[in-house]
Amino acid sequence: MRKIEKSEMIYSKARNLFPGGVNSPVRAFKNVDSEPVIAEKGKGPYLYDADGNRYVDFILSWGPLLLGHAHPYVVEVVQKVVSQGTSFGLTTEWEIKLAEKIKEFMPHIEKLRFVNSGTEATMSAIRLARAYTGKEYVVKFNGCYHGHVDYLLVSAGSGVATLSLPGTPGIPEEVVSKTLVLEYNDIQGVKELFEKYGSQIGAVIVEPVAGNMGVVRPVDGFLETLRSVTDKYGAVLIFDEVMTGFRVSPGGAVEKTGIEPDLVTLGKVIGGGFPVGAYGGKKEIMEMVAPEGEVYQAGTLSGNPVAMAAGWATLDYLQKNLDKWHKVVEKMREFYEKSKDRIRGATFVQEGTMFTMFFTEREPRNFKEVSQQDKKKFSAFFNYQIEHGVLIPPSGFEANFLSLAHTDVLDLYWENSVKFFNSM
């Protein structure tokens, strides 16, 4: 039985200071009947809470820690940079180093702009796409979360789905009136929507592999259809790779699918654990951004040297150790193959270093199917894992993440999973 006394005391203080005691909703663990974990430190694949409990961590700060916690190489680089100053509000060489490293993985990004979050990246990309096309409508997909931008916070997944909140409280109807929503993987719906609104659609934004309703894969032809209709009607295709970048494949979704978007948004991994985001893509579109063009976007802390250095160190290490990326991916698949006959009433989905255990009879293809999963069983599964030393996201609508440090600790997740399903 894990200890929680100190964590409870800390959370009690937090409730008097923050809404719900947290600074991001999913951290409250409300839907799994559990007290929230109060993190204290991490090392490699492990997270330690305020009471000293150790967990194999599959949250990994919701994705950015591709190398695991406190990786020595990242820590060394960050300590050196932070000793020279934390922020200048001016250009530093670290911005160039990180941008060049990103382009080595993703050469389709001809120019990019650093920002401070994934939300900022998607907001800026949409603004740019509308300016480039001169069209106002934006298409998104039910269950795909692109940050808490007003006009994109409609039919979102992840935290909104977990808390069963409506998509637009506090947001005037006219703000979302130019946002068109379809089901993920609805190829026919895409074609019909463009036949009706094509001349008014400026952008389509999509997670090329959905991660904010759990890991939901694109069906054959879905992304190809998005590319063909946006080409036909002159809309900008935006891949939101804040979550999938460097995770579904080292080169992101483009490397995996062969389908190239016009713009891409990045975050998570490229900050190595620090707040960061980016948007980029075709040169002729990006050249519309100020000061080169007239589309204004700015940020005092954009390109922060500490975040840039942490991101560069993460990607540099990944680039030199791609064998470790592939090893942890394959080992997770091997464990699943050995265990799948004992997993009943659930479906395991893995794409690269992202995975989800859905409590559904078959692999979900859209948010409606994800929403039909057995939430009580997921809650029981979560609590079984955490009581036996494994920390997974406290929501059936979130992706789990692997790091390069997880190769030798994956067995505990599967041992717990098999025991849980045997006990049902």
Tell me which residues are annotated as active site: 145, 240, 268
* Whole-angstrom distance, CA of residue 81 vs CA of residue 94: 9
DSSP string computed for 217-268? PPPTTHHHHHHHHHHHHTPEEEEE-TTTBTTTBTTHHHHHH----SEEEE-G
Q: Copy the structure tokens of residue 380.
A: 């029981």
DSSP lists the bridge partners of residue 137 as 201
* Whole-angstrom distance, CA of residue 349 vs CA of residue 367: 15
Nearest residue to 314 via CA among 103, 75, 83? 75
Q: Are 272 and 310 in contact (CB under 8 A)?
A: yes
* Whole-angstrom distance, CA of residue 147 vs CA of residue 117: 9
DSSP 3-state of 55: strand
DSSP lists the bridge partners of residue 350 as 355
CA distances from 173 to 59, 150, 153, 267, 411 (A): 34, 10, 12, 29, 49
Nearest residue to 144 via CA among 130, 127, 131, 161? 161
Say which residue the tokens 């006394």 belong to.
Answer: 5
Say which DSSP state 71 is in.
Answer: -
Quote the distance between the C-alpha of residue 5 and its chain's center: 32
Q: Copy the structure tokens of residue 203.
A: 């952008």
Neighbours of 32 (CB within 10 A): 22
HEC profile of 303-350: CCHHHHHHHHHHHHHHHHCHHHHHHHHHHHHHHHHHHHHHCCCCEEEE
Beta-sheet pairing, 236-240 with 46-49? unpaired
Q: Are 352 and 19 in contact (CB under 8 A)?
A: no
